[in-house]
Protein backbone atom coordinates (compact mmCIF):
# COMPACT_ATOMS: atom_id res chain seq x y z
CA UNK A 1 0.00 0.00 0.00
CA UNK A 2 3.06 2.27 0.02
CA UNK A 3 2.27 4.36 -3.06
CA UNK A 4 3.50 7.70 -1.78
CA UNK A 5 6.32 8.66 0.54
CA UNK A 6 5.85 8.42 4.28
CA UNK A 7 6.32 12.19 4.57
CA UNK A 8 3.58 12.91 2.01
CA UNK A 9 1.22 10.44 3.67
CA UNK A 10 1.82 12.09 7.03
CA UNK A 11 1.20 15.49 5.45
CA UNK A 12 -2.15 14.23 4.10
CA UNK A 13 -3.11 12.89 7.52
CA UNK A 14 -2.03 16.13 9.20
CA UNK A 15 -4.41 18.01 6.90
CA UNK A 16 -7.36 15.67 7.38
CA UNK A 17 -9.85 16.09 10.22
CA UNK A 18 -8.45 14.16 13.15
CA UNK A 19 -9.70 10.79 14.31
CA UNK A 20 -11.68 11.02 17.51
CA UNK A 21 -10.89 8.94 20.61
CA UNK A 22 -13.08 6.00 19.53
CA UNK A 23 -11.52 5.65 16.09
CA UNK A 24 -8.05 5.96 17.58
CA UNK A 25 -8.96 3.22 20.04
CA UNK A 26 -10.23 0.93 17.28
CA UNK A 27 -7.03 1.48 15.32
CA UNK A 28 -4.79 0.79 18.34
CA UNK A 29 -6.75 -2.30 19.39
CA UNK A 30 -6.81 -3.69 15.87
CA UNK A 31 -3.05 -3.34 15.47
CA UNK A 32 -2.41 -4.80 18.92
CA UNK A 33 -4.91 -7.66 19.00
CA UNK A 34 -6.12 -8.65 15.53
CA UNK A 35 -4.42 -10.50 12.69
CA UNK A 36 -3.78 -8.58 9.46
CA UNK A 37 -4.36 -5.05 10.85
CA UNK A 38 -3.61 -3.64 7.38
CA UNK A 39 -7.23 -4.56 6.60
CA UNK A 40 -8.36 -1.66 8.79
CA UNK A 41 -9.75 1.27 6.80
CA UNK A 42 -7.82 3.80 8.84
CA UNK A 43 -7.72 7.58 9.06
CA UNK A 44 -7.69 8.81 5.43
CA UNK A 45 -10.03 6.18 4.06
CA UNK A 46 -12.37 6.38 7.02
CA UNK A 47 -12.79 10.14 6.69
CA UNK A 48 -13.22 9.75 2.93
CA UNK A 49 -16.06 7.26 3.49
CA UNK A 50 -17.64 9.52 6.09
CA UNK A 51 -17.59 12.54 3.78
CA UNK A 52 -18.87 10.52 0.80
CA UNK A 53 -21.76 9.43 3.01
CA UNK A 54 -22.50 12.95 4.21
CA UNK A 55 -22.56 14.16 0.60
CA UNK A 56 -24.69 11.26 -0.63
CA UNK A 57 -27.15 11.36 2.33
CA UNK A 58 -28.12 7.70 1.88
CA UNK A 59 -31.07 6.15 3.65
CA UNK A 60 -29.60 2.64 3.45
CA UNK A 61 -26.03 1.40 3.20
CA UNK A 62 -24.74 -2.14 2.76
CA UNK A 63 -21.21 -2.96 3.87
CA UNK A 64 -19.71 -6.31 2.85
CA UNK A 65 -16.84 -6.92 5.26
CA UNK A 66 -17.08 -5.38 8.74
CA UNK A 67 -13.67 -6.38 10.13
CA UNK A 68 -13.35 -4.39 13.39
CA UNK A 69 -16.05 -1.85 12.60
CA UNK A 70 -14.00 1.26 11.77
CA UNK A 71 -15.50 1.89 8.33
CA UNK A 72 -19.06 1.06 9.44
CA UNK A 73 -18.86 3.70 12.17
CA UNK A 74 -17.44 6.26 9.75
CA UNK A 75 -20.27 5.69 7.29
CA UNK A 76 -22.94 5.56 10.01
CA UNK A 77 -21.85 9.04 11.08
CA UNK A 78 -22.97 10.32 7.70
CA UNK A 79 -26.47 8.86 7.93
CA UNK A 80 -29.61 10.84 8.66
CA UNK A 81 -31.31 9.90 11.92
CA UNK A 82 -33.71 7.58 10.08
CA UNK A 83 -30.95 5.95 7.99
CA UNK A 84 -29.30 2.60 8.61
CA UNK A 85 -26.30 0.54 7.61
CA UNK A 86 -26.29 -3.25 7.28
CA UNK A 87 -22.79 -4.63 7.72
CA UNK A 88 -21.94 -8.29 7.10
CA UNK A 89 -18.91 -10.27 8.24
CA UNK A 90 -18.18 -13.96 8.71
CA UNK A 91 -15.59 -13.65 11.50
CA UNK A 92 -17.50 -14.35 14.71
CA UNK A 93 -14.28 -14.17 16.75
CA UNK A 94 -14.39 -10.38 16.42
CA UNK A 95 -18.08 -10.04 17.32
CA UNK A 96 -17.70 -9.01 20.96
CA UNK A 97 -15.09 -6.39 20.11
CA UNK A 98 -17.09 -4.98 17.21
CA UNK A 99 -20.37 -4.78 19.14
CA UNK A 100 -18.56 -2.93 21.93
CA UNK A 101 -17.29 -0.34 19.43
CA UNK A 102 -20.73 0.05 17.87
CA UNK A 103 -22.26 0.62 21.30
CA UNK A 104 -19.54 3.16 22.17
CA UNK A 105 -20.28 5.05 18.92
CA UNK A 106 -23.82 5.82 20.03
CA UNK A 107 -24.99 4.68 16.60
CA UNK A 108 -25.65 1.01 17.26
CA UNK A 109 -29.40 1.51 16.76
CA UNK A 110 -28.61 2.45 13.14
CA UNK A 111 -26.09 -0.34 12.55
CA UNK A 112 -27.39 -3.81 11.77
CA UNK A 113 -24.47 -6.17 12.24
CA UNK A 114 -24.97 -9.59 10.65
CA UNK A 115 -22.60 -12.52 11.01
CA UNK A 116 -22.46 -15.02 8.19
CA UNK A 117 -21.48 -15.67 4.60
CA UNK A 118 -22.31 -12.60 2.50
CA UNK A 119 -22.77 -14.73 -0.63
CA UNK A 120 -25.57 -16.56 1.15
CA UNK A 121 -27.05 -13.58 3.00
CA UNK A 122 -27.24 -10.90 0.32
CA UNK A 123 -29.92 -12.60 -1.83
CA UNK A 124 -32.20 -12.66 1.21
CA UNK A 125 -31.93 -8.94 1.94
CA UNK A 126 -35.25 -7.33 1.05
CA UNK A 127 -33.73 -3.88 0.78
CA UNK A 128 -32.57 -1.43 -1.82
CA UNK A 129 -29.45 0.59 -1.11
CA UNK A 130 -28.18 4.08 -1.74
CA UNK A 131 -24.59 3.06 -1.01
CA UNK A 132 -22.65 -0.21 -0.94
CA UNK A 133 -19.10 -0.66 0.34
CA UNK A 134 -17.35 -3.87 -0.73
CA UNK A 135 -14.35 -4.75 1.42
CA UNK A 136 -14.33 -8.52 1.82
CA UNK A 137 -12.67 -11.50 0.09
CA UNK A 138 -11.25 -10.24 -3.18
CA UNK A 139 -12.01 -13.37 -5.19
CA UNK A 140 -15.73 -12.67 -4.81
CA UNK A 141 -15.68 -8.96 -5.67
CA UNK A 142 -17.29 -9.51 -9.07
CA UNK A 143 -19.86 -11.87 -7.54
CA UNK A 144 -20.77 -9.29 -4.89
CA UNK A 145 -21.12 -6.64 -7.57
CA UNK A 146 -23.48 -8.78 -9.65
CA UNK A 147 -25.52 -9.62 -6.55
CA UNK A 148 -26.03 -6.04 -5.42
CA UNK A 149 -26.20 -4.00 -8.64
CA UNK A 150 -29.96 -4.52 -9.02
CA UNK A 151 -30.46 -3.67 -5.33
CA UNK A 152 -28.77 -0.27 -5.74
CA UNK A 153 -31.11 2.67 -6.33
CA UNK A 154 -30.51 4.95 -9.34
CA UNK A 155 -27.91 7.50 -8.34
CA UNK A 156 -26.59 5.16 -5.66
CA UNK A 157 -22.89 4.51 -5.10
CA UNK A 158 -20.93 1.27 -5.11
CA UNK A 159 -17.52 1.59 -3.45
CA UNK A 160 -14.91 -1.16 -3.49
CA UNK A 161 -11.69 -1.19 -1.47
CA UNK A 162 -8.22 -2.54 -2.33
CA UNK A 163 -8.66 -2.18 -6.08
CA UNK A 164 -4.98 -1.28 -6.56
CA UNK A 165 -3.97 -4.38 -4.60
CA UNK A 166 -0.65 -3.01 -3.32
CA UNK A 167 0.27 -2.01 -6.87
CA UNK A 168 -0.02 -5.53 -8.25
CA UNK A 169 -2.63 -4.38 -10.79
CA UNK A 170 0.12 -2.80 -12.88
CA UNK A 171 2.73 -5.54 -12.48
CA UNK A 172 3.75 -7.51 -15.56
CA UNK A 173 2.11 -10.83 -14.68
CA UNK A 174 2.79 -12.41 -18.08
CA UNK A 175 -0.54 -14.19 -17.85
CA UNK A 176 0.26 -15.70 -14.45
CA UNK A 177 -1.32 -13.39 -11.88
CA UNK A 178 -2.27 -15.04 -8.59
CA UNK A 179 -5.98 -15.65 -8.09
CA UNK A 180 -6.66 -12.65 -5.84
CA UNK A 181 -4.80 -10.26 -8.14
CA UNK A 182 -6.62 -11.64 -11.17
CA UNK A 183 -9.94 -11.22 -9.35
CA UNK A 184 -9.18 -7.55 -8.77
CA UNK A 185 -8.08 -7.07 -12.38
CA UNK A 186 -11.30 -8.71 -13.58
CA UNK A 187 -13.41 -6.60 -11.22
CA UNK A 188 -11.85 -3.30 -12.30
CA UNK A 189 -12.27 -4.22 -15.97
CA UNK A 190 -15.88 -5.27 -15.42
CA UNK A 191 -16.81 -1.99 -13.72
CA UNK A 192 -14.99 0.04 -16.37
CA UNK A 193 -16.99 -1.70 -19.10
CA UNK A 194 -20.39 -1.64 -17.32
CA UNK A 195 -22.54 1.00 -19.01
CA UNK A 196 -24.99 0.90 -16.09
CA UNK A 197 -22.54 2.97 -14.06
CA UNK A 198 -20.09 5.84 -14.30
CA UNK A 199 -16.96 5.30 -12.29
CA UNK A 200 -13.68 6.65 -10.99
CA UNK A 201 -10.77 4.86 -9.33
CA UNK A 202 -9.25 6.87 -6.49
CA UNK A 203 -5.61 6.20 -5.47
CA UNK A 204 -6.55 6.55 -1.81
CA UNK A 205 -4.68 4.10 0.45
CA UNK A 206 -4.97 0.79 -1.50
CA UNK A 207 -7.40 2.20 -4.06
CA UNK A 208 -11.15 2.83 -3.93
CA UNK A 209 -13.34 2.22 -6.95
CA UNK A 210 -16.46 4.39 -6.96
CA UNK A 211 -19.26 3.51 -9.36
CA UNK A 212 -22.45 5.59 -9.54
CA UNK A 213 -25.48 3.78 -10.89
CA UNK A 214 -27.07 5.71 -13.72
Each residue of 17-40: pLDDT tens digit? Answer: 999 999 999 999 999 999 999 889
Burial of residue 112 (CB within 10 Å: 0-12, 13-18, 19+) is middle
- Whether 140 has a pLDDT exceeding 80, the answer reads yes
Fold of 6-213: Rossmann fold (3.40.50)
Each residue of 176-201: pLDDT tens digit? Answer: 788 999 999 999 999 999 999 999 99
* Model pLDDT, residue 71: 98
Cβ density class 118-135: b for 16+ within 10 Å, e for less: bbebbeebeeebbbbbbb
Report residue 167's pLDDT band, with 50, 70 and 90 as the boundaries: confident
pTM confidence score: 0.95
Amino acid sequence: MEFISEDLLQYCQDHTTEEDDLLQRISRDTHAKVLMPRMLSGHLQGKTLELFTKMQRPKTILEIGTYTGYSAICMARGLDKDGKIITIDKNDELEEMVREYFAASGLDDQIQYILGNAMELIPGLNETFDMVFIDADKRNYSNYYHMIIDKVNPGGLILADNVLWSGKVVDDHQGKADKSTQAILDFNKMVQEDDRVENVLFPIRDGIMMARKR
